[in-house]
Amino acid sequence: MTTEADPYAAEERKTTEGRVYTVTGGDWDDVLEDAISDERIVINLGPQHPSTHGVLRLVLELEGETVTQARSVIGYLHTGIEKNCEYRTWTQGVTFVTRMDYLAPLHNEAAYCLATEKLLGVTDQIPRRATIIRVMLMELNRISSHLVALATGGMELGALTAMTAGFREREEVLHLLEDLTGLRMNHAFIRPGGVAQDLPEDYDQKVRDFLKVMRSRLPDYDKLLTGQPIWKNRLIGVGYLPVDACLALGITGPVLRSAGLGWDLRKQEPYCGYEEYDFEVPTSTAADAYARYLLRVEEMHQSLRIIEQTLDKLEPGPVMIEDQKIAWPAKLSIGSDGMGNSLEHVRKIMGQSMESLIHHFKLVTEGFHVPPGQVYVPVESPRGELGYHLVSDGGTRPMRVHVREPSFVNLQGMPAMSEGGMVADVIAAVASLDPVMGGCDR
């Protein structure tokens, strides 16, 4: 009597380092074998980078040029960030979450810090200047993210000028963010209690210069793409996903708004004082890839409006909470190299008192205690609802960190957008979703 081999069994072999096990899964092999047995052709699209800002594998079943079934295979960029956060202090968690959706690091930082502050019960104590700075940075980040969506989407469809123009404008944003925060990406600038440090003295002029440049260049996208016949033919009617399908799949962001529902958390559930700002939420009823392109261009215009309003609202004041048991960095003074604490700051800490030094040491090494409880706080990221579910057991580290990542949820719409269409349109459909696989796999 012969027994069928278990496809999930772990094979073992002995090496000089000891016994090694090789674990394989047979699920995808079985899927492909079943499909090959009939008239359909099965192809692997990837694992590669088809407008996904990371590695995605698509398994497509084809009848001729028509996609009959589409499946997404994820996990190639899994980093364990959520679990890593449980082994760091609440403040150190910022340096992890900023690396999830690396095209929207500041939105991740803001959502994580808003959730932490809600657990602490200090939401009303965050300085107004810090909150306005957060809004400015998030809207700058939204512009840079949408520019990458246009640039990479254009590149995958053969519009290389769109790519060069998009990344040229994105460099303007990243240069400005570097001036404001010290880093182009993965800033860890938004911290629980406020922001890491105040803006540089010349921030107002630099931001206004940026607004001027962007307002002169954004109309170029209309000249280059909006009315371009080839661009329109490649996008109009492609990746169709109506509003009922979006709601059934939990899809948010520009994809949902392109289907006619103007759901934007900045308007519906305002945070960081967004109710004070005058801006519009663009919508469309076309529900296709072209509508999503138009929405992202218009959202960049609206972000410029918000950024200009933040400049008018910014007034001198603190940028970190007054509570010294939470504020880290507390009254930080940067050294001349821009890398660490200045000698004056160190002397002040060392010279005040032993209690001051001990407190500073414990704040940096152990962090602050957060009362037991759990919260969920969402923000409107460039891709949709980005929500943080944090659980505290009363310690100096999170007990659980889980992220409602829009790229992960939105990617569920890929089969519905692609099946029944041409294989060439799969790329356009995925590009219109604008998924970031670092956030999807996290």
Reported as a single tens digit per residue, the pLDDT across 338-348 is 555 666 766 77
Tell me the average pLDDT across 242-269: 90
Give CA–CA dist 410/384, Å, rounded: 9
Residues of the chain within CATH 1.10.645.10 domain(s) are 81-328+367-441
CA atoms within 13 A on the CB side of 439: 30
pLDDT surpassing 60 at residue 398:
yes
What is the pLDDT, as a whole number, of residue 369? 85
> What's the gap between Cα 20 and its chain centre?
37
Summarize pLDDT for 151-184 with one digit per residue, the tens: 888 888 888 888 888 888 999 999 999 988 888 8
Per the CB < 8 A criterion, the answer to whether 183 and 177 are in contact is: yes
Structure tokens at 25: 């899964």
- Tell me the mean pLDDT in the region 304-312: 92
Is the pLDDT reported for residue 376 higher than 90? yes
What's the pLDDT score for residue 365?
81
| Interval 202-217: pLDDT, tens | 888 999 999 999 999 8
Query: Who wins on pLDDT, 161 or 21?
Result: 161
The answer to whether the CB of 63 falls within 8 A of the CB of 40 is yes
Rounded Cα distance, 358 and 47, in Å: 51
Per-residue pLDDT, 115: 93
pLDDT for 138 equals: 93
- The pLDDT value recorded for residue 24 is 57
Average of pLDDT values for 292-300?
A: 92
Check if the beta carbon of residue 377 is closer than 8 Å to that of residue 111.
Answer: yes
Per this entry, what is the length of the chain? 442
429-439: average pLDDT: 88
In order of 1, 335, 379, 417, 435, the CA distances from 413 in angstroms are: 46, 49, 21, 6, 11
* pLDDT for residue 57: 86
Question: What CA–CA distance (Å, rounded) separates 343 from 360?
Answer: 15
Check: CB of residue 327 under 8 Å from CB of residue 320: yes
Of residues 375, 356, 409, the one with CA closest to residue 122: 375
- Over residues 228-234, the mean pLDDT reads 87
Mean pLDDT of the chain: 84
Greater model confidence, 29 or 315: 315
The C-alpha atoms of residue 264 and residue 109 are separated, in whole angstroms, by: 19
Distance, first Cα to last Cα, the chain? 46
Beta-carbon neighbour count of residue 290 at 10 Å? Answer: 24
- Banded pLDDT at 51 (limits 50, 70, 90): low
Confidence of residue 334 (pLDDT cuts 50, 70, 90): low
Confidence of residue 50 (pLDDT cuts 50, 70, 90): low
Q: Encode 119-151: b = buried (16+ Cβ within 10 Å), e = exposed.
A: bbebeeebbebbbbbbbbbbbbbbbbbbbbbbb
Instruction: Check pLDDT > 60 for residue 266.
Output: yes
Residue 22 pLDDT level (bands cut at 50, 70, 90): low
Given this model, what pLDDT does residue 143 score? 93
Instruction: Give the per-residue pLDDT at 63.
Output: 82
The count of C-alpha atoms lying within 13 angstroms of the C-alpha of 256, restricted to the half-sphere facing its C-beta, is 25
Query: Is residue 367 predicted with pLDDT exceeding 90?
Result: no
Please say if the pLDDT value at position 111 is more than 90: yes
- More confident site: 114 or 339: 114
Q: What is the pLDDT of residue 405?
A: 92
- Which residues are paired to 61 by β-bridges? 42, 69
| Average confidence (pLDDT) over 249-275 | 90
pLDDT band per the 50, 70, 90 thresholds, residue 377:
very high
Is the pLDDT score of 286 beyond 60? yes
Please report, for residues 121, 188, 361, 363, 374, the alpha-carbon distance to residue 369 in angstroms, rounded to integers and kept in the order given: 12, 20, 15, 10, 14
For residues 276-291, average pLDDT = 90
Q: Residue 44: its pLDDT value, please? A: 81
- At residue 320 the predicted structure's pLDDT band, cuts being 50, 70 and 90, is confident
Q: Which CATH number fits domain 81-328+367-441: 3.30.499.10, 1.10.645.10, 3.40.640.10, 3.30.70.100?
A: 1.10.645.10
Contact 104, 436 (CB under 8 A): yes
Phi, psi of 51 (to 5 degrees): 60, 30
Q: Where is pLDDT greater, at 350 or 254?
A: 254
Q: What is the mean pLDDT of residues 310-337?
A: 75
CA angle 118–268–410, rounded 5-degree value: 90
All residues at 6 or more sequence positions from 145 whose CB lies less than 8 Å from its CB, including other chains: 103, 104, 381, 382, 383, 434
Q: How confident is the model at residue 335 (pLDDT cuts 50, 70, 90)?
A: low
Give the range among 15-24, 38-47, 57-66, 222-231 with minimum mean pLDDT: 15-24
Query: In which band, very low, low, confident or very high, does the pLDDT at 39 lie, cut at 50, 70 and 90?
Result: low
